[in-house]
């Protein structure tokens, strides 16, 4: 869905459909595609993790708009024996961005925000000091990565400072976007796709100002509560559940720099945790919305989220494409990671089906190889083969 970026710097990273295709092409896809029961799914997960250092992985399958299989395999932390369970929460990284979009869509529907209002009117006190090119940027451009903003603050030290900042999160986000909007655009706004966490933080501040509440409260009120996502929250999962992993070991301390994870202010860009079934509630509502039967939003809002913007592979903020790994679309995709976790959501609206795969580790421990190997077999069950021209 988004341009690949290697996770070598302080910047929180994202995962891409291009990367998904690459790994599916390289994987042996040795997991049998015929199994469908939950116990067989657990075996398939365990087999996919073989040959990697992935501590645990959870997978949930949606067929005909309903959860039909859900399973986890592995341990909560790789230096202990406690098994991961279906009731555990996982960090979902940038896969939470469509949730942020849904929250903002609700505010638009309520008349609190406008999709096409320029930044100069939404952030009037910052208009004079922001780069002139950003003054006409809209929420649609911010949430589809077409605002021209860099991916994160280019000043690594300034970004790292937010890990130890003790001010209220909305105050910190205000400081972040002042810095972000002073940076030169990577390309003229509205002309090209360039993945940007900063764009989502700017949108978060706009929502906070307009609604008079922190973005955490807004997501809880506008998305989690209406959909019954009772196990969803912010930051790392609750104590005693899963831990993320990096460099072969569990991550037991809060990150202090961006090389270790994401700062708390990144809620809107990807700092959520939830159970598989919580994320499934959101995914199922998105599938229903594609059929005119969604609970959370109006048909126009679902269509905006799920339709690629001009000259872009991204809607708001779904990656949108005609096929994936040789399976027929349309396909909605998002992936995310902070370097300690890896999450994928892949939906086939035409088949009313989809799959969620999450691991408590990332590429350095082989979680990408494990998840891609498993997803390939599941895609074959969830969607028909794509026509030759679409593959």
Q: What is the pLDDT along the chain (391 residues), one digit of tens a residue?
A: 332 222 222 334 444 443 443 334 333 233 333 334 678 999 999 999 999 999 999 999 999 999 999 999 999 999 999 999 999 999 999 999 999 999 999 999 999 999 999 999 999 999 999 999 999 999 999 999 999 999 999 999 999 999 999 999 999 999 999 999 999 999 999 999 999 999 999 999 999 999 999 999 999 999 999 999 999 999 999 999 999 999 999 999 999 999 899 999 999 999 999 999 999 999 999 999 999 999 999 999 999 999 999 988 999 999 999 999 999 999 999 999 999 999 999 999 999 999 999 999 999 999 999 999 999 899 999 999 998 875 5
DSSP-based three-state secondary structure for 357: strand
Is residue 217 classed as helix, strand or coil in its secondary structure? helix
Residues 185-213 as b or e (16 or more Cβ within 10 Å = b): beeebbeebbbbbbbbbbbbbbbbebbee
Nearest Cα neighbor of 98 from 237, 249, 296 is 296
What residue has token string 């509502």? 285
Q: Domain 14-384 has what CATH class?
A: alpha beta
Domain borders along the chain are 14-384
Contacts 24+ apart (CB under 8 A), 361-365: 361/53, 361/54, 361/55, 361/244, 361/245, 361/246, 362/7, 362/246, 362/337, 362/338, 363/7, 363/337, 364/246, 364/247, 364/339, 365/52, 365/53, 365/54, 365/55, 365/245, 365/246, 365/248
Cα separation, 258 vs 52, in Å, equals 25
HSE (side-chain half, CA atoms, 13 Å) at 290: 24
56 with 72: CB under 8 angstroms? yes
| Residue 86, CA atoms < 13 Å, CB-side half-sphere | 11
pLDDT in tens, 81-108: 999 999 999 999 999 999 999 999 999 9
Q: Which helix (H) or strand (E) holds 60?
A: strand 56-63
Query: What is d(CA 127, CA 138) in angstroms, rounded to the nearest whole number?
Result: 13
What pLDDT score does 2 carry? 33
What's the pLDDT score for residue 274?
98
Q: Do 187 and 212 form a contact (C-beta atoms < 8 A)?
A: no
| Tokens matching residue 266 | 């990144």
d(CA 370, CA 49): 5
228: left (phi over 0), alpha (psi -120 to 50) or beta: left
For residue 153, count CB atoms less than 10 angstroms from its CB and return exposed for 0-12, middle for 13-18, buried for 19 or more. Answer: buried
pTM above threshold 0.95: no
């Amino acid at each position: 869905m988004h341009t690949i970026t290697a996770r070598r710097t302080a910047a929180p990273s994202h995962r891409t459909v291009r990367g998904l295709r690459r790994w599916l092409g390289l994987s042996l896809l040795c997991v049998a595609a015929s199994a469908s029961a939950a116990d067989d799914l657990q075996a398939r997960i365990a087999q996919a993790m073989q040959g990697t250092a992935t501590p645990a992985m959870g997978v949930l399958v949606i067929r005909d708009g309903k959860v039909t299989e859900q399973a986890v395999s592995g341990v909560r932390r790789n230096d202990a024996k406690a098994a991961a369970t279906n009731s555990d929460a996982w960090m979902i990284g940038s896969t939470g961005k469509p949730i942020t979009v849904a929250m903002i869509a609700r505010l638009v529907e309520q008349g609190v925000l406008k999709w096409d209002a320029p930044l100069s009117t939404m952030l009037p006190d910052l208009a004079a000091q922001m780069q002139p090119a950003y003054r006409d940027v809209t929420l649609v451009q911010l949430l589809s990565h077409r605002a021209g903003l860099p991916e994160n603050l280019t000043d690594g030290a300034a970004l790292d400072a937010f890990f130890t900042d003790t001010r209220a999160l909305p105050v910190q986000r205000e400081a972040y976007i002042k810095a972000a909007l002073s940076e030169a655009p990577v390309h003229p706004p509205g002309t090209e796709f360039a993945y940007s966490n900063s764009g989502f933080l700017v949108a978060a501040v706009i929502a906070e100002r307009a609604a008079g509440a922190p973005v955490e409260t807004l997501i809880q009120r506008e998305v989690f509560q209406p959909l019954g996502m009772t196990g969803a929250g912010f930051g790392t999962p609750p104590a005693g559940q899963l831990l993320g992993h990096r460099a072969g070991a569990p991550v037991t301390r809060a990150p202090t720099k961006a090389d270790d994870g994401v700062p708390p202010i990144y809620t809107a860009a990807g700092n959520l945790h939830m159970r598989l079934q919580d994320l499934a509630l959101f995914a199922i509502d998105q599938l229903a919305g594609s059929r005119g039967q969604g609970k959370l939003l109006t048909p126009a809002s679902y269509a905006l989220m799920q339709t690629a913007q001009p000259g872009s592979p991204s809607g708001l903020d779904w990656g949108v494409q005609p096929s994936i790994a040789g399976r027929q679309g349309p396909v909605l995709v998002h992936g995310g990671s902070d370097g300690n976790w890896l999450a994928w959501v892949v939906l086939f609206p035409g088949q009313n089906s989809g799959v969620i795969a999450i691991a408590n580790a990332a590429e350095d421990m082989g979680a990408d190889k494990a998840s891609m190997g498993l997803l390939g077999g599941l895609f074959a069950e969830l969607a028909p083969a794509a026509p030759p021209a679409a593959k």
